[in-house]
Structure 1
């Protein structure tokens, strides 16, 4: 979904996290999983399967509706990935932005589940992951409506109806 005016400048109605790149700006809310990968790491046929696995893991661990989960694939040009100051064109980096307040067990289940789900697609490549937490009820909106507080009846209605009502 594009954000802002026809020339993609944000408007006051723009809600969400704007991703700035050479591509048009888009609104993204969390949970958001971003995969940074070297050229040729994943095929166009593998990407939907990876996105589904990540979505399934997040939803099964947190109880959040699948419609909340966003997955973005960001190709990184050859020669632009470094580890410890050395070129590392075999690294896949996954960053997950999730709602704050999940306990350690839930966060580790997400990481473990995503890791296990990625093994089929990684081949010889290395994979590093981390989660960042955001206060969903304070800063993130879904389709212009603020997300309900975690664990509330309103959140349960959203999950049961596939999104905000």
Structure 2
């Protein structure tokens, strides 16, 4: 079996910030925090979560037509079906964690969540499940893929929703 790609995962959170604003350990801390928050709030396994840190030159960022520096913008493409309470909790927790990690002001961190239908996403060679159906989806995967996902820290025994 061809090894599953580590590149295309849902949800995908893209964190755009000024070049050099954070160091490598802060980038890792942001990725860990976003992954943890998404998994805790939705029950989805962490192997679904991808975090991309994009550094931009300050000249690339404008607010109201003026150059802006220090703004952190996080866009999360997530599966539709999450409640408003879940989405609000994720956005607020992500904002607070990123502010703590980067020492940025909370009002300088903008979080947008964009809902995509699960049937519009394919990962690991399979169309994604509806929220809450992850365990059944996992159980239907080929054994080599289950083993690969287990290497990422999730197994049938440790799978929780």
**Where does structure 1 differ by over 6 angstroms across 4 or more consecutive aligned residues?**
none
Aligned mates of 2:104, 2:35 — CA distance in 1: 24
Aligned mates of 1:64, 1:56 — CA distance in 2: 10
Aligned mates of 2:42, 2:130 — CA distance in 1: 14
1:76: how far off? 0.8
In structure 2, do the counterparts of structure 1 residues 102 and 94 end up closer, same or farther at CA, with 3 Å as the change threshold? same
1:151: how far off? 2.0
What are structure 1's unaligned runs of at least 5 residues?
Answer: 1-15, 17-25
Which residue number in structure 2 is paired with residue 62 of structure 1?
Answer: 42
Listed one character per residue, the Cα deviations across residues 63-118 of structure 1 (whole Å, up to 9, x for unaligned) are 00011100001111131111111100111110011110111100001101101111
Q: Residue 72 of structure 1 aligns to a residue in which SS?
A: strand
With normalisation by structure 1, the TM-score equals 0.75
Listed one character per residue, the Cα deviations across residues 19-71 of structure 1 (whole Å, up to 9, x for unaligned) are xxxxxxx8423101000110121101111111001001000000000111000
Which of structures 1 and 2 has the larger relative contact order (alpha carbons within 8 angstroms, sep 6+)? 2
Would you tell me which structure has more helix in proportion to its own residues? 2
CA contact (8 A) 1:97 1:133 kept: yes
Which residue number in structure 2 is paired with residue 127 of structure 1?
Answer: 109
Which residue number in structure 1 is paired with residue 126 of structure 2?
Answer: 145
1:139: how far off? 1.6
What are structure 2's unaligned runs of at least 5 residues?
Answer: 142-153
Which residue number in structure 1 is paired with residue 150 of structure 2?
Answer: none
Q: State the superposition RMSD in angstroms.
A: 2.4
Q: Residue 79 of structure 1 aligns to a residue in which SS?
A: helix
Q: Residue 54 of structure 2 aligns to a residue in which SS?
A: strand
